[in-house]
Amino acid sequence: MSSTETGAATTAAGATVTGADGDVAANGAVGDVVTDAADGGGETVRVRMDVSYDGTDFHGWAAQKGGLRTVQGVLEEKLTLVCRTPIELTVAGRTDAGVHADGQVCHADIPAEAFTQRSLARPEDLVRRLSRMLPEDIRLNAAVAAPEGFDARFSALRRHYVYRVCTAPGGPLPRRVRDTARWRRPVDLEKVQVAADALVGLNNFAAYCKAREGATTVRELQEFTWKDVSTPSEPQTYEAHVVADAFCWSMVRSIVGACLTVGEGKRPETFTAELLEMDERSSQVPVAPAEGLNLVGVDYPAPEELAARAAETRAVREL
């Protein structure tokens, strides 16, 4: 997976518009699916937004009480100002504090009347409007009216992460310390890859996840590939490319940390596979530092398959 991969689904040209009375009309003012507002107060447009951010100075994606700075909190605040109505976001992947994203995807149901402003006539105008308001560590890359059935979280086919780590004695380059984790012991990359290969497939990752009540820890890890990206100025620097249909809380950093402990010789090569037999979080699994992790892309199916995918994702899986 390259860092340029993002979701495949964008707009649905010529989609129908559903009014407050449920009738099907011709194309709407913004040319895509319009649905009833949740409170029955009017029509809304579901807008897909592609976002990038440097997570260093954020307490994660999710809005939190107490005034903590979060990506969701900042975005919703600025969107509310621009749209002149409270906006709530649904996201593809809720990143933790310090974790970055080049390819985050979220959606919001925005009242259609918000797009009657001279400077905000269509969803695409949100990019220009927010570019003047957002801080330097967040960027709105794209905003489009979403196809019918699109849900940033539940319609996703897979998420792509890259983890970057340096094991050199001097640590990463000063200009890369915000996106490259430091691991203070050298590792054997072949052993790291053996440990990673043992995790690929449909498994119960309970040992690698922080528990959430009522949530399953069964996930399909589709790719876990390590690469040596060292250069003369960045020796002993590696990247892990991690792809799954979905991830549990702290799962990526936990499987990375487990593989690195194998690579440094602290654990046997069978360590990661043995942990798959556990049904609860293991204290033996170190969580790799947040700064090395980057959500680089989210894939979605074709527009006509979005609703079915969302229904499939909502179903709780078991082995």
pLDDT in tens, 79-118: 999 999 999 999 999 999 999 999 999 999 999 999 999 8
Query: How far apart are alpha carbons 23 and 122 in whole angstroms?
Result: 23
Beta bridge partners of 236: none
Element (H, E) at 309: helix 306-314
Strands, E, within 70-212: which ranges? 90-91, 100-111, 138-145, 158-166, 181-182, 201-204
CATH 3.30.70.580-classified regions of the chain? 17-154
CATH of 184-287, one of 3.30.2010.30, 3.40.470.10, 3.30.70.660, 3.40.50.150: 3.30.70.660
Q: Is pLDDT at 164 greater than 60 in this prediction?
A: yes
pLDDT in tens, 198-257: 999 999 999 999 877 778 899 999 999 999 999 999 999 999 999 999 999 999 999 999
Which residues are documented as binding site for substrate?
161
Are the C-beta atoms of 100 and 252 separated by less than 8 Å? Answer: no
Residue 96 annotated as catalytic: yes
Residue 23, pLDDT above cutoff 60: no
Residues of each annotated binding site? 161
**Two tokens at 286?**
């170190």
CATH architecture for the domain at 17-154: 2-Layer Sandwich (3.30)
What average pLDDT does this structure show over 6-23?
32
CA distance 44 to 86: 13
The Cα 4–Cα 233 span in angstroms is: 25
Report residue 70 as tokens. 């979060």
53 has pLDDT over 80:
yes
Does the predicted TM-score (pTM) go above 0.95? Answer: no
- Of 50, 96, 102, 109, which residue is the catalytic one? 96
* Contact status, residue 109 vs residue 35, Cβ threshold 8 Å: yes
Give span(s): CATH 3.30.70.660, the chain. Answer: 184-287
